[in-house]
Structure 1
């Protein structure tokens, strides 16, 4: 215990010292009207050494203004003692009938590492309705609407998954909690005018930027936060526990070494042998039954010869390493050597049975396989241009790898490959892991869908498929794969992942980027929807009209694909038609209101288990009021 206590003390001291060293900025003081502006805040135009850039404010007509995501707010009060500030939307500050300046989503408040909502979990949501709403919770704005439609506001509406029939979402904004049920319109105006509170903690932000976990340690203003590196602490605790257990077993073994040790060893070896034998037997039974339908089977000796003793490695991943090889006729291949601990017998059978039966220009070809004892390998056609993720993300100072015409070709080819999986085979094949890393490019940059380890078959006549566990990669997983509250799993789950892929191709970046230059661009789908909805441009450089149309087409189709309800998404056949069609035929879909929490979340699971993935993403969807967690690599 003394060792553990000392380590925890040293860890906290080291983190505190590091945070203080990185946060040493000149404490300057300025003012705007009667508002004192001091550290960590700064005003635009202050010397660069003043305050913290993440907490920059502006001053206009003696009023302090804060830009929070896409919204603009007056800062009514800053309490440096409690580390809180009260802000109000610039359009709602005078308490008159109006709409918010911009919509502020729950995901934006919940995922901000600089600020944290204090005493509110309440929102005011505005919508335009073509029909009269009888529900007393919906209050009509007397100054807006009229004619064929009216504008309504509802208080305490955190989730808008079911809008009334005939209503279209306009915007939503946080609102002070009034402890009232069904307040009048005048009461809602008063609450909107009073604004809402945000708390801040520079130390907590710095903690999250180091991939640690920051949580409230004391629930009293000002909130105190504790930064913890749980991985290091768990490692030390486990080391101590195993050390104590080791000493205990040494004593026991000295007493009964000729009885207990042989029994334990024999039982372990027997269990291991039976477990490995069962897995091998399952694979052999499957391969025997499918022999006439599958690619060539190679021996492990063949694999060694084809890869020249695994000389040229192409890459490494969680499931194993990939090596460049060559068949006797000179045909180049890529050999994936699988790790038994990561790639299960079920996933091996999935990969062989799925790709082995498919022959399509946009699906990677499985040339052969090896299953010899514990040695398993998959032999693919060689893709000299690697995976799509190495080409689409634009790095600073470098031009885009592809022309917009080529990007459209790659998107169309990928869509055709997925469409073939859904409707071109005897059964519907659901991929469940569509992402840039799993789209490979041949020598002519023709895209090919790859990696079928998570794939699942289901009959075409069924509209949905039963899936017992969460499958996929965070940032591309459809909502219904995380929680059945969002609907049934179907081929539309792959459509969602393809939509996220399309948006990353169009944006040349990850959909969620906390390091974006502008706060409104942190979540790309939300930013691009607002630009398209308001008739703005996409801020493209050195492009002509045709290229602008291609970019808009990719974005609009991507936004259709990531609709929250699976029934609102197009089929892959329809997606292919949209990609082949004209931009004039495309209409902007409804804004996917609740899509951003999943993708803005950057908390990754600590293991590859489906339960860990599901738990991790559900936290992103529904939030955690006590704990912030952030990791830079999504």
Structure 2
């Protein structure tokens, strides 16, 4: 868990106080005393220092830093994260003896550059001359007789790393044809790459003239405050007061402590200010929530609400829906819109329509996010999901809700549509009514959702202009495709609602997706023939009353899907039909029998879509659509 500066200031104050107190009485040579990582490890003294224990001035310069592992091994870290283990430090000849059990040198060899390091490789004459080499990654296993020609330095599961003199032609090395060249290195002693082989480094500066120091029982160290590097012999113990350097160290530490205290006070002030602002935001949100006003969230809020997008509820063409939590009592569904889809029309439609209306049968928009290119919509959470999974087939006993419940759902959807068409200041056309867009709460009350394709118009407007067909195939009214059937209007939603009713009755989709030619199952014609002949709907129905409900839903659905908009009822009339008795409903004329012959009533006939219709060309003028929406 992260903590702020103000939480650790007391501890830091005690630490710096003890550090300053101990520094004032500590001898500089005691600070730079000889140390070891383990009992048998090499001694660490000037020009080296032990990280975390020796102060910086105990080392000659950067690069002479050693550290200890948890197993008390002494480690030298070279540039590009190469860690070598130190076995011996020869201060007399100024040489380091190292080994590489983790093979980090081989794995990072191509990035190694010792030009900025105080160390250089030791040349061992004939045994390992400095040469240029090429390294290869091979998927094959080299035999023992090849190891002299191609030294193998790393053998892991599935591959080996071998080296070849760069002056040797690769064409003359057929064994390397199955290998991939990795990199070249120049002027390199190849022998040091063998596992656990002794690696020798030499440092040339500073020249330590400490031979007499050991004989005199003194320590060899670095002379401070000189323009030229010098080494001197220091006594191991000195009985005098704090030096100028110690006083300077105390001043620096005191300054640091003062700076930390000031920062802690500033952070406390900022934190308190942020807490007050957050409280105000929470209070405003709760007021907005109670007043049914959508709240604007930041993208950070969205990540917090969804717990870093942990639980996915589903995906659509415009985004992904995640489950979220505003509080322990308030659950939400967060739809994160795709940044690459569209130009924001769906987002504007949702916020501009559903954000302004409130109805028991329309899903509630709790809030939205418009943070740069990131957009999201926050809805109330409906635990029973969409209607689609409950209308698979009436013959199925697993998810079938019962005809009374289905009638209640149909009535609720009709009330929601009637409110959109007549109950708002402007008429709202949904254009995508289908089972997936009908959500059910814990009591299976329906709520219309997904207003991404919706349009707004005045109530006295008899037709709506559209630049492209919109909706889902199987639920789109004919006039949306072709003006031969009439103008696009609120009657287009009535058609989609009728298809929804027929699917609720028959429990089957309006499109057979298995046909490459997109042939529609001509289900409405089949239902019409059964009703006209007085036959049952071939659906498992218990009791005469339930049979009447199914026939009523089917009859109302057939009225709603008449080809021409003028022949369809308004949603106000649809509500009256659903509330009335089934015996008072007349079967509408069959507008689907184009051939003059009736299909066999035993099963639905499949007919291809009418290809002679004048299909509206899709002109994608999204920007013009958004401007039109905002203007209205």
TM-score, normalising length: structure 1: 0.47
- Larger relative contact order (Cα-Cα within 8 Å, sequence gap ≥ 6): 1
TM-score, normalising length: structure 2: 0.47
User: Greater Rg, structure 1 or structure 2?
Assistant: 2
